[in-house]
Chains A and B, each alone.
Chain A
């Protein structure tokens, strides 16, 4: 069981929740389950989301393993200059 924190403007698309509990072992499972449970999140997931796992940002890596008790935070996909 992981608790996934989502950012403020996604909350209305996820029944107003700021944290969502999921059974997910990888980043991809997080994305798949979020999209399945809250179809309104799919456009943003398609545009790009990154995952901060225990403070470290993973931009794309689907198979990043999520250990139990991890802090999982969704972030918009970002690029620098």
Chain B
């Protein structure tokens, strides 16, 4: 039968994929996609634990709110991306380094 470990493995794969995408992509939208994967892995974990270790539905509530937060995050994040694009005409992540002191690249 399907066990808790199986869900955790899938969730781990999601998490690691998201992390790799976040680190290796240089496009901000692609990085946001990676963040969505990570949030999904967390939500999946919550629901899985809710079924296998507790008898209540708090895990469902938690993942519901994770989805809510993810939507808000995507909305604001993409708005920032679009604004950034209007100013810089690019969405390359390495251009978002305004806080750094200028160092020769």
Whether both chains belong to one complex is answered with no
Please report A residues at the B interface, Cβ cutoff 8 Å.
none
Residues of B within 8 A of A (CB): none
